[in-house]
Amino acid sequence: MTGARIFRLALRDSLPVLMGYTTMGFVAGVLLAAKGNVTLAPLWAFLSSTLWVTGTMSIAGVPHIAAHISAAAFALMTLAVNFRYAFYGFSMLGRWKDVPFLRKCYLILMLTDENYALEAASPLKDPKAHLRYCTYLSALNHSYWIVGVTSGAVAVALLGMVVDPDAIRNWTNGMEFAMLALFLVIFTDQMRGFCRRGK
């Protein structure tokens, strides 16, 4: 299979993730800019979304960022919240044993729930084609997350030029529940699919 066909397959498979990552990323960026108590919020949003892809910490961590907790404490909390990703990485190490170190680190960093599900279900049997698929998928999904988080922070920064920042903070109250709502929707959809298969 050619590289272009593998890319098209990865792009097609990533489209549902595009909808989720840009939406949740936008919420995370809005919360960071409105309640994170950081200067140059769009820059922080871009850097944070480039360095980590975790919706849970991007939303739940905002109060801790605002409180200026130490980097070590924040890193420990992030590790605890996202520890399950380590098991995803262990299960993929056999497939990626001959992959260059930096590329392997990136692929493991990008093993979110969505990426892992798509990569594990990939129909590509050829190891090289599968590796290329995983790389394309990781890069696409990562770019969706960066765009979502950064655009949310930029929107708040632009709105803050004409609206009182306290009003923006009040408007964003309750947005933290967006992650819970997403999980409930996914869980409900999975249960419906399970019930249909059981019939």
Q: Which tens digit of pLDDT belongs to each residue from 60-109?
A: 777 777 777 887 887 787 777 777 777 777 778 777 878 888 888 888 88
Question: Are 133 and 119 spatial neighbours (Cβ–Cβ below 8 Å)?
Answer: yes
In a domain, 56, yes or no: no
Q: How many domains does the chain have?
A: 1
Domain residue limits at 84: 3-51+62-198
Least confident of 101-110, 111-120, 184-193: 184-193
Asked if residue 57 is part of any domain, the answer here is no
The answer as to whether 175 is a domain residue is yes
User: Which stretch of 9-13, 76-80, 126-130, 179-183 has the lowest confidence by average pLDDT?
Assistant: 179-183
Q: What are phi and psi of 11, to 5 degrees?
A: -65, -45
C-alpha distance across the termini of the chain, in Å: 37
Give the DSSP letter of residue 177. Answer: G
Q: Helix axis angle, 3-35 relative to 178-198, nearest 10°?
A: 140
| Cβ proximity of 24 and 141 under 8 Å | no
In a domain, 32, yes or no: yes
Using CB atoms within 10 A of its CB, is residue 51 exposed (0-12), middle (13-18) or buried (19+)? exposed
pLDDT tens for 13-66 read 999 889 888 988 898 888 888 887 777 888 988 988 888 777 777 777 777 777
Give CA 194 to chain center in angstroms: 25
